[in-house]
Structure formats: structure tokens, C-alpha cells
Amino acid sequence: MKILGIGNDIIEIYRIQEAIEKNSKLEKRVYTEKEIEYANSNRKYEVLAGRFAAKEAISKAFGTGIRGFKLTDIEILNDELGKPYVNLYGKLKEKYLGYNIMVTISHNKSNAISTAIISCE
């Protein structure tokens, strides 16, 4: 297995909450419908902050930051056991087809953190 990149990110949950409450359009610019649906059923702002941190961590693992794609091109969902997994869309899906993107998300009362590893065979 070859590691393409590793990234991590941490964010204060209140910053996501304030930004979304201030600008109602922001939520749909950053998150997919499935992510919003999941967040609305589970500790909304903690979940959204964790997803944001994961998207940032993945963009850092790409080595590009958030350039040349939209944040909604990265979707973070959970499997039946709660483990997060990544779906890519648009140019990212084409570019990283066949790559494995692993992500972990944690949070406490005030912060959300995520680490991402991108690998290939």
C-alpha cells in the first residue's frame, strides 16, 4: 500500500453554528443533502463541524487544500456501525478513482477534529 497523503483538521463547533445561523445558504454550499439529513437527526452542529473538519483534512491529504473543487464534492457518511466513509463527486471522483480514503472524526463539547489518509495499491 502506498500513502498518497495524510491530513488533519480541528475546528471550534461554535464557529460552524454561528456561520450557518448567520448565512442560511452556507449549509447547502458546504454539505450534501445526505450530510444535512444525518446532522439534523444527530447533534446537528457537532456533526456538521466534524464533517467540515473531515473535508478540510481530506483536502490537506490531497495536497491541494480546497482548490479546483467544491466542498460538496466530498461527502462524509456513516456505515451501519457508525464508521465514517467518503464519497467523491465531480472532478475528484475521476481523479481519485481507485484510491482509498480513510477518515476518522471525533469531537468534544467545543471542538471537532478529523484525520484523513489517502492510499492506493
| 33 assigned binding-site residue | no
- Annotated catalytic residues are 60, 107
DSSP for 31-94, please give it.
Answer: S-HHHHHHHHHS-HHHHHHHHHHHHHHHHHHHTS-S-SS-GGGEEEEE-TTS-EEEEE-HHHHH
Q: Quickly tell me which residue has 495499491 as its cell.
A: 121
Q: Is 56 annotated as a binding residue?
A: yes
Residue stretches of the annotated binding site for Mg(2+): 9, 56
Which residues does the annotation place in the binding site? 9, 56
